[in-house]
Structure 1
Amino acid sequence: MPHSTPIPETDLIVTRAVDGNPDMYIVDTVTGAVGDRITTDAPGSQYPTLSPDRGSIVYLQGGDKNALHMMAADGSGDRPLLAADADFCPSPQRPAWNPADPTEIAVACRGGDEGNRLVLIGVDGTLRSTINTGLRSFDDPTYSPDGKTLAFWGTQDEGAQGGALYVQPANGSGTPKQITTPGAKANDTDPIWSVDGSSIIFRRATEDGGGGQSAQILQIKADGSGLTPVTDGTAFDQDPTASPDGKQIAFLSNRINAAGNNDAQVWVINLDGTGLRQVGIGKPGNAAGAPEWGRR
C-alpha cells in the first residue's frame, strides 16, 4: 500500500478546479493556505478518504467512468485499487476506511448483473464480503469509530441521489435501522460519524415551493434522536468532514465567498455553528469535490 509521512491533523484534502483542471490539493485549515497539489491532470473530481494513520489515501476518481485509486498522502505511488477484471464493483462510489481495521474499505457499487451492492474490500483490492441493505439505492458509507457500525443513506427509489439515513452492523449481521425522516421534499446524504461515535453529521437538501434547493448540515444522535443544525441552511452546504479532534467540520458550499460570487469553496465551522470561515481565499479556482479532514 503506498504510504508517506502522515499529513498534519490541521490539514485537509480537497479537489480544486483551476482553469477547469480538477486536482487534489492539501489545504491548511489554520492559515487557510492552499498547499501542495497531489494529483496531476485528473480527468474529473476526486473524493478522497484518508487511512486511519493519515499516511495513505483511497479516492474515487470521477470522469467518463468511476474508478477507485490508492496513493500515499503526498501523492506518490498512485495506482488503481481494483483490478481491471474486478466485476464485483463495476461502478464504485465514494469509499470509507475502517478505523479499527486499516486493511478494510467499504464502498457502494452500482450496476452489473447483481445490481447495487455494499461491499467490503481489502486494501489489496480483493472482495471480502457483501452486505445486504435491502434497499434499491444507497451510498456514502461511513464507519463508526470502533469499526462496528456503518451509516449510509438509502431509499427504495431506484436511481435516487439521496434518501434517509440508516445504520447497520458492519459485519452484516443485522438489518438497517432508519434514523432520519427527511420529508417529502427533502433528502439526506453525506453522513459522517462524530469522533466520539455518539452522533452522525450529514447534509439535508430541501426543495422550496418554486423548485429551488438549499442544503443544511445537521447533526443527529446515532439512535435517531436530538436533531440539531450546524449550518444555517441559507445556501447549499454539503459533504461535511470532521476535524480529527472532533471540534469542527469542513464542508463544501456555494454560499457567497470572499470573491463575492457563488463558486463552490470549502468552509470551516465549529460544531456549535460558530466560527464560520472560508479556506483557500485568494487562490485561483474553486472547490470541485468533497473535502477530507478526518476519516470516513
Structure 2
Amino acid sequence: MTPFSCPSTGRTYALTTAAAVIALAGCSSPEVDRADPAAASPQPRVLFQADGPDHILIAVGDLDGSETSYPLADLPGGHQMNPDWSPDGSQIVFAVNDGTRDDLWVSGADGSAPHLLLDCAGACRYLDDPSWSPDGASIVYSRTVARGRTGHGSLEEVDVATGEVSVILAPRVRTFTAGARWSPDGSRIVFESVHKAGPGVEAEVDGVSLRIADREARRAGPALTEPDLFAATADWSPDGTTIVYSALAQPDAGNPDLFVIPAAGGEPRQVTTLADAGGYAVEPTWRADSTRIVFSGKLPGAFEEGVLLTVSADGSAVEELGASTIVGRHPRVEPGA
C-alpha cells in the first residue's frame, strides 16, 4: 500500500495501489473561505470534501471552479467526509470522524443549524457513507460495530424526522458494506460488499464487489462485479438503468478507472482509460441529464491528484470540471444539475 501523509480519514480498506489512491486527494491546505455558498453565482454547484488548514472540510463550489466555500469550517469534532445533498438541495448529510469513530451530521447547505443525526457510541466504530433517499425521508449508511475483537458490518437507514433506525442488511462478520447509493425511485440500494480476510474490525480486505439491496425485501442480490477488481463508489444513472463505478480494469492493474454496467447485471463497459498512462478515476457521480459524469482523479502527466474531473458518458472528452482547478474528493453534483 502506498504511504501518504494526509491526516487519517477513519476507515480505509486498501490492498492495492488503487485503493491507496482512493484514500488520497492531495495534501494541500487551502485558506478557508467562510462565505455563504448561497451568495455565490446562481450556477449549479458541487458538494465535495477538501483539505482545510487543519482537517478535512465539507466544501461547496460552483461547477466552473470560480467560487468555493467551506460552510462548516467552524464545526468542531474532526474530519468532515462523504457528504450528500438532500433531494431539494437545501441540506447536506456528512460523516464526522474524530480519529476513533464516525458520527453522522446534518446541516443546511449553507452550513446553518448543524446537528448530530446519529451518534456512534458504545460498541459502534463507524457510521459512514451516508446517502439521502430520493423522497427526503431517510438516509442510508453503513455501520461497523466491534464486539470484542470481531467486527460486524450492516447496512441501515435512519428516518430523518424521528431518528428511528432500521436495518436493511443484518450484521455480518467477515463482510461489511460501504458506498451505498439509492436508486432514483428509492426501491433499491447499490453498495460495496467488502470481504475481509479475517473477523477483526481492521482485518485486511481481500475483495470488493458491487451488489444491489432491495429496500423492502431487506436482502441483497448477486454480485455485479468480480471481487478482485475492487469495484467501489457506485452511482445510479438518473433513469435508474445504469450504474457507474470505479474499479481496476484487471486484477493486476495499478490504478482504477471508471466503468458502467446495466443495473440488471451484464457486461461492464470501460469509460475512462486514465490508468494506462499513470492517471486514475474514482468516486463518480452522474449529471442530471445523463450525458456526463463527474469524478475525482488524476489526468495523465498532471502534477495534482484528487482533482475534480468530468467525462462524457461515452468515454470521450475527459477534462477538468471547471475552468479553475478544484481539488477534492467524493463529489456530489447539486440535485437537478
Report percent identity of matched pairs.
20
Letter in 2 for 1:218: F
1:116 aligns with 2:160: no
1:204-219 to 2 correspondences below 5 Å: 204-205=247-248, 213-219=254-260
1:143 aligns with 2:187: no
Q: Which residue of 2 aligns with 1:95?
A: 130
* TM-score with structure 2 setting the length: 0.73
- Asked whether the equivalents of residues 34 and 280 of structure 1 are also in contact (C-alpha less than 8 Å), the reply is no
Q: Which residue of 1 aligns with 2:246?
A: 203
Shift of 1:198: 0.2
- 1:104-159 Cα deviation digits (max 9, x unpaired): 11111012448211111111462331123675222111111110111111144354
Letter in 1 for 2:96: Q
Shift of 1:54: 1.0
1:82 aligns with 2:108: no
Larger helix percent: 2
- Asked whether the equivalents of residues 88 and 127 of structure 1 are also in contact (C-alpha less than 8 Å), the reply is no
Which residue of 237, 241, 254 maps to 1:194?
237
Q: Which residue of 1 aligns with 2:286?
A: 242
- Asked whether the equivalents of residues 206 and 213 of structure 1 are also in contact (C-alpha less than 8 Å), the reply is no
Which residue of 132, 138, 141 maps to 2:169?
132
Shift of 1:281: 5.8
Counterpart Cα distance in 2 of 1:106 and 1:171: 13
Q: Which residue of 2 aligns with 1:262?
A: 304
1:20-169 to 2 correspondences below 5 Å: 21-29=55-63, 31-40=64-73, 43-64=78-99, 65-83=101-119, 90-99=125-134, 101-113=135-147, 115-124=152-161, 126-132=163-169, 136-157=175-196, 158=198, 159=203, 160=205, 163-169=208-214
Letter in 1 for 2:210: L
Question: Tell me, which stretches of 5 or more residues in structure 2 are unaligned?
Answer: 1-36
Counterpart Cα distance in 1 of 2:85 and 2:178: 18
| Partner-residue secondary structure (3-state), 2:118 | coil
Shift of 1:237: 1.1
Higher relative contact order (CA 8 A, sep 6+): 1
- Asked whether the equivalents of residues 218 and 227 of structure 1 are also in contact (C-alpha less than 8 Å), the reply is yes
- 1:261-291 Cα deviation digits (max 9, x unpaired): 13321111121112322136656x832x311
Shift of 1:14: 1.4
The alpha-carbon distance between structure 1 residues 280 and 80, as it changes in their structure 2 partners (threshold 3 A), is farther
- Asked whether the equivalents of residues 207 and 214 of structure 1 are also in contact (C-alpha less than 8 Å), the reply is no
The alpha-carbon distance between structure 1 residues 280 and 41, as it changes in their structure 2 partners (threshold 3 A), is farther
The alpha-carbon distance between structure 1 residues 224 and 84, as it changes in their structure 2 partners (threshold 3 A), is closer
Counterpart Cα distance in 2 of 1:248 and 1:280: 13
Counterpart Cα distance in 2 of 1:119 and 1:97: 12
Which residue of 266, 272, 280 maps to 1:231?
272
Report the RMSD for the aligned CA atoms in angstroms. 3.0
- Asked whether the equivalents of residues 213 and 236 of structure 1 are also in contact (C-alpha less than 8 Å), the reply is no
Q: Which residue of 2 aligns with 1:291?
A: 331
| Partner-residue secondary structure (3-state), 2:112 | coil
- Asked whether the equivalents of residues 162 and 189 of structure 1 are also in contact (C-alpha less than 8 Å), the reply is no
Which residue of 273, 280, 296 maps to 2:315?
273
* TM-score with structure 1 setting the length: 0.83
Which residue of 257, 263, 285 maps to 1:222?
263
Counterpart Cα distance in 1 of 2:206 and 2:79: 19
Question: Tell me, which stretches of 5 or more residues in structure 1 are unaligned?
Answer: none
Shift of 1:52: 0.8
Shift of 1:19: 4.5
- Asked whether the equivalents of residues 204 and 216 of structure 1 are also in contact (C-alpha less than 8 Å), the reply is yes
Counterpart Cα distance in 1 of 2:47 and 2:309: 13
